[in-house]
Structure 1
Amino acid sequence: MRILYHLPMSPYARKVRLALAEKRIPFDLRVERVWERRHEFLEINPAGTVPVLQEDNGLIVADSYAICEYLDEAYPDTPLLGRTLADRAEVRRLVGWFDGKFAAEVTRNLLYEKYQKRHLNRGNPEASAIRAGYQNLRPHLDYLGWLAETRVWLAGPSISLADFCAAAHLSALDFIGDVDWSISEPAKEWYARVKSRPCFRPLLADRETGVTPPAHYADLDF
């Protein structure tokens, strides 16, 4: 069986899980505690990061974007990178935005500081980073809301990897109660549409010891 090495709260792993599920590609999940630096895992991914996809034939694909590109080329029936050159360019731009800019300005300052740091034994959360994360979240949600108001989906007329990438980051933050959805009603409505898709249900069922998500986290009607 195809295996995806992951961490439940990794937005990058969540993005790949959504892509696999939307394409209806069967896979098994295997939690990889990357901080343990397991020798067998480092042999298949020397970077020591998740996600990593292992195909039935033994093929190993590491890095979330490389995996998603691979999936769209190997399983093209449900394209997530767009159908035209313009569509694909816009999907890639927005994936870069959320996996790069949003991750650096929001996800790292909130999810990493408040949740991931303790797993990695890297000290206490930095209050200044958390404040910056909350401040940075507002303009990002405003921009996401603008995209949702002016387009059917974030990158255009069809749901794409851009939607799943943004939703992966926001779902992880929402799990720890760090998304103020009152900032942007269009962003909230877009997220409700995304998390109502069947591919999202396994993410909404995730639970972590010591963390209780807000009541709306798994509520499809918010």
Structure 2
Amino acid sequence: MSACVLYHFAFDPGSRAVRLALGEARRTFTETLVRPWENDCPVAGMNPSGMPPVLQVTEDSRSLTLCEPAAILGWLEDGSRDPFLMPTDPAERAETRRLIGWFDRRFTDEVNAVLLHERMEKPLLRLGAPDARNLRAGREALRSHLAMLEDLLSSRDALSGRRIGQADFVAAAHLSVLDYFGEVPWANWPGLKTWYMKLKSRPSFRPLLADRFPGVAASAWYADLDF
């Protein structure tokens, strides 16, 4: 038996990816919500980067501190007797890693660093109103990424191949935060919308749909499974 405590920020895409994976693995865990921008954030003493998520695991009197999504998702995968969220096919495994790297770098740099900064970080840090030019640039970048995802799903059942797996949950974690703020124009991307509806209907997704950001109402369709 193991005990798990997840330190996370509810609207951090990486934290959401880990919550989804833990849900898919049916791992029971205790949540500790953190505010990584504050000086007394407990994650600062656990992870050299000071960033969530961090999973503390105690099993058989042994303690592990797993920092950030790659380590936590890898631990879940390594601890599974059967293939979990990584495909068994080598080509699909490589594609999964490519897509996760894409979200960790290009999507984060080009979309999240702009749109989530304007829509989420500014209110939290009291940095003023969103900048219209930055919003336009972030939305334009988002459209290009959504077009790439739509193209992938036109010939695949899931992002990396034949079955829903790690790449899908990482992608959905990122898109779900943007969706809360109404930034994803789903009507323009029917294949992507169908894919997201399937993921959104899974039990592991329900806790994310209950998240609420202080002072900002969720988009009208955020918690709607059939939107």
**Kept after mapping to 1: 8 A contact 2:43/2:51:** no
Cα distance in structure 1, aligned partners of 2:129 and 2:220: 27
Mark the CA change 1:51 to 1:76 in structure 2 (over 3 Å): closer, same or farther.
farther
**Kept after mapping to 1: 8 A contact 2:35/2:41:** no
Q: Which runs of 5+ in 2 are unaligned?
A: none
Cα distance in structure 1, aligned partners of 2:14 and 2:182: 19
Q: Which structure carries more helix by proportion?
A: 1
Q: Which residue of 1 aligns with 2:109?
A: 104
SS at structure 1 position matched to 2:63: coil
Q: Give TM-score, length-normalised by structure 2.
A: 0.92
Identical-pair percentage: 46
Q: Which runs of 5+ in 1 are unaligned?
A: none
Q: Give TM-score, length-normalised by structure 1.
A: 0.94
Cα distance in structure 2, aligned partners of 1:160 and 1:37: 36
- Aligned match of 2:49 in 34, 47, 50? 47
**Kept after mapping to 1: 8 A contact 2:34/2:42:** no
Cα drift, residue 192 of structure 1? 0.7
Q: Which residue of 1 aligns with 2:217?
A: 212
Mark the CA change 1:120 to 1:186 in structure 2 (over 3 Å): closer, same or farther.
same
Mark the CA change 1:196 to 1:86 in structure 2 (over 3 Å): closer, same or farther.
same
- Aligned match of 2:190 in 185, 189, 204? 185
Cα distance in structure 1, aligned partners of 2:15 and 2:185: 23
Identify the range of structure 1 (73-82 vs 17-26) with the bigger mean alpha-carbon deviation: 73-82
SS at structure 2 position matched to 1:207: coil
Identify the range of structure 1 (46-55 vs 120-129) with the bigger mean alpha-carbon deviation: 120-129
- Equivalent residues, number: 222
Identify the range of structure 1 (163-172 vs 116-125) with the bigger mean alpha-carbon deviation: 116-125
What is the one-letter code of the residue matched to 1:175?
Y
Cα distance in structure 2, aligned partners of 1:76 and 1:106: 36
Cα drift, residue 108 of structure 1? 1.5
Cα drift, residue 202 of structure 1? 0.6
Cα distance in structure 1, aligned partners of 2:14 and 2:123: 19
Q: Which residue of 2 aligns with 1:133?
A: 138
**Kept after mapping to 1: 8 A contact 2:8/2:34:** yes
Q: Which residue of 1 aligns with 2:8?
A: 6
**Kept after mapping to 2: 8 A contact 1:37/1:48:** no
